Every structure is written in C-alpha cells, then in structure tokens.
C-alpha cells in the first residue's frame, strides 16, 4: 500500500494573491511511514517544535519582534517566547486603540506564527532545510505535482477550475505510478494507493465528489484501478506527512514565483521520473517557459499543448 499525502501552496482563485497554485502529492510506501515520521519528529524535537505543525509559509517570514529584543540569540526558548509575547501584547493593545482592520490581521498573524516565535529566522530556515534534506534522501518517496501559472489558465478552455485541474493531474500521475510498479511487483495486490489530505471542509467535499466521478468515468487520461476511491482526510496538525507535502508545494511555488532554489532543489530529487524524464511534476504555463521543470520534460507541458500527460 502506498500513501500519498496532498497539500497545496498559493491560492486557486483567479487572480488571488499568488501567481501560481501548486498541488503536491508525496507518496511513500506504508511500510516506511513509521520510520520516516519518526525522523521528522526528531528534527522538530531539536527545535522545540514537537507539538507544532510545520507550516513553511509562516515559518519563513521575518518576525519584527525578534529584532527588537536585545541578545535574542542568547536567551533560552522559554525566555524568547515570553519576551516576544510581551511585545505582541503591546502591539495588539496599541492597534486596538487606533481601531481599523489592522488589529484583526495582526492578531491572526501572531496566532499563525505562535509555534515558532522561540526560534530565530536563521533557526527556522535551518529546520525547514534539515527536513527538506531528509526527505530528499527518501529513495522510496515520489513527488507528484501540478503547478498552475494562473496568468495562462483559461477555465473556458480547460473546462475545469484551477483546483480541479491540479487534482486530476496529481491523481492521474499517482495512479499511473501505481500501475507501473504494480505490473513489476511480485505481489501486485500490495500496490494500491490511498490519498491523504488535510481536513478542510470545502476541499474534502470537492475531492470526494471528483474521486467518485473519476471512478465512474476515469480521469481524462486513465481509469482508476489502483487508487482507493475515497480520500482520507486528516488533521494536518497531527499528521506530519501532510506538513511535508506542504513543504514540497511551497518549495515548488517559491521557485516558480521568485526563483528561490534552496528547497526546490531538494524536493525535486524525489520527483517521479520515467527513464530519466521528469513525469511527476508539470508546470502549466506558456509553452516557451525554460524553467527547470519545463526543461526536464521531453513532452510539451505548456498551455499550447493543453493537458498533455507524459506517462
């Protein structure tokens, strides 16, 4: 049995606040799940993050309070947390007096970053890089992803939304991977796959409905033979591997939007390939794109070729 953990980065809305929407799926064999989960928990433990969800987008922001505290680096985790909290309280009180929407937004930001305020920016980068490096060495893990450049996405042409297209692509690639390994495996009965997703009510409904549809008619490319019909929805706070899928999606999006390669280079080591060609990840954009995803694929991947799938 193979478990494929899904998560997204960027917004699927058009135009939304990001130019790209990325859906990533990281597949690992069930038999490796326990050890790999433990490896990540060990890294998190070193940084006092054992009960905290790794949410890379929030971790890799600059936190203003950190720079205002003298000798922040020399303080213990508990002292840092207490000093940061103190400054945050003062900020919220000040904003409450002035009124307006800033108070609500800042309060939300503080809540999202609360688990990481005892770490310096450098330490937060270090955790993310350590985790990404570890994942890059998981020889049996495979990364599938659809990276949609929304500038070139036309729902009237594709007949589906950005999120639907991304989901169909990832499901198809995972299914094809399972069919290939199932054909070679001496015990093909073991080559079934389960999709595991963060439990967000809207996404859960949409993905369950889409999977039902794929079961009846297949995806646009394949009939589903090896992917289990109903995805499993879990709490990402409690499921370390969904957090790893988040890291992969984030790394792909930041490369495509900002040219940042540090996380990208590592997660790309796990991208699914067939005879050396990149098949697991696609950049849906203008066909003249020469990014490191497009240039590693032999078949055209851009909008001009509309939905080709190299399988």
Residues near Zn ion (CB under 5 A) = 283, 289, 291, 293-294
Find out whether 278 and 297 touch, Cβ atoms under 8 Å: yes
Residue 169 CB, nearest distance to Zn ion (Å)? 15
The residue among 244 and 294 lying less far from Zn ion, judged by its C-beta, is 294
The residue among 24 and 294 lying less far from Zn ion, judged by its C-beta, is 294
Residue 17 CB, nearest distance to Zn ion (Å)? 21
Radius of gyration over every alpha carbon of the chain, rounded to an integer in angstroms: 21
Cα-Cα end-to-end distance for the chain: 21
Residue 255 CB, nearest distance to Zn ion (Å)? 10
Residue 148 CB, nearest distance to Zn ion (Å)? 11
The residue among 180 and 291 lying less far from Zn ion, judged by its C-beta, is 291
Residue 20 CB, nearest distance to Zn ion (Å)? 10
Residue partners of 260: CB distance under 8 A and separation at least 6: 254
Residue 289 CB, nearest distance to Zn ion (Å)? 3
Find out whether 262 and 275 touch, Cβ atoms under 8 Å: no
Helical segments of 159-239, H only: 162-184, 201-217
The residue among 210 and 294 lying less far from Zn ion, judged by its C-beta, is 294
The residue among 240 and 268 lying less far from Zn ion, judged by its C-beta, is 268
Question: Per the structure block, which two tokens stand in for 179?
Answer: 């069919």
The residue among 3 and 303 lying less far from Zn ion, judged by its C-beta, is 303
Nearest to 109 by CA among 57, 68, 72: 57
Nearest to 296 by CA among 268, 261, 260, 267: 268
Q: Helix (H, G, I), strand (E, B), or coil: what is residue 169?
A: helix
SS (H, E, C) 62-84: CCHHHHHCCCHHHCCHHHHHHHH
Whole-number Å distance between alpha carbons of 30 and 4 = 10
Residue 219 CB, nearest distance to Zn ion (Å)? 22
The residue among 266 and 294 lying less far from Zn ion, judged by its C-beta, is 294
């Amino acid at each position: 049995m193979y478990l494929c953990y899904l998560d997204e980065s960027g917004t699927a809305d058009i135009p939304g606040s990001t130019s790209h929407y990325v859906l990533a799926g990281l597949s690992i064999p069930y038999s490796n799940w326990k050890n790999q989960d433990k490896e990540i928990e060990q890294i998190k433990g070193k940084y006092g993050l054992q009960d905290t969800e790794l949410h890379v987008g929030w971790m890799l922001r600059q936190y203003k309070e950190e720079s205002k505290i003298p000798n922040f680096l020399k303080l213990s985790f508990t002292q840092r947390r207490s000093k940061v909290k103190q400054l945050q309280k003062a900020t919220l009180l000040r904003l409450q007096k002035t009124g307006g929407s800033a108070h609500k937004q800042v309060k939300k930001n503080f809540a999202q970053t609360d688990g990481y305020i005892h770490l310096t920016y450098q330490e937060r980068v270090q955790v993310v890089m350590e985790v990404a490096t570890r994942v890059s060495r998981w020889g049996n893990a495979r990364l599938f992803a659809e990276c949609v450049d929304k500038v070139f996405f036309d729902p009237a042409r594709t007949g589906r939304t950005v999120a639907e297209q991304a989901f169909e692509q990832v499901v198809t690639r995972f299914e094809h991977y399972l069919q290939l390994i199932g054909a070679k495996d001496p015990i093909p009965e073991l080559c079934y796959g389960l999709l595991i997703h963060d439990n967000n009510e809207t996404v859960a409904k949409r993905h369950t409905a889409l999977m039902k549809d794929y079961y009846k008619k297949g995806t646009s490319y394949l009939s589903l033979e090896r992917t289990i019909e109903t995805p499993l929805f879990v709490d990402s706070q409690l499921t370390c591997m969904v957090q790893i899928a988040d890291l992969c999606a984030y790394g792909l999006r930041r490369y495509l939007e900002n040219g940042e390669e540090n996380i990208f280079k590592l997660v790309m080591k796990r991208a699914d390939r067939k005879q050396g060609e990149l098949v697991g990840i696609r950049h849906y954009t203008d066909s003249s794109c020469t990014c490191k995803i497009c240039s590693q694929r032999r078949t055209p991947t851009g909008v001009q070729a509309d939905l080709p799938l190299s399988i």
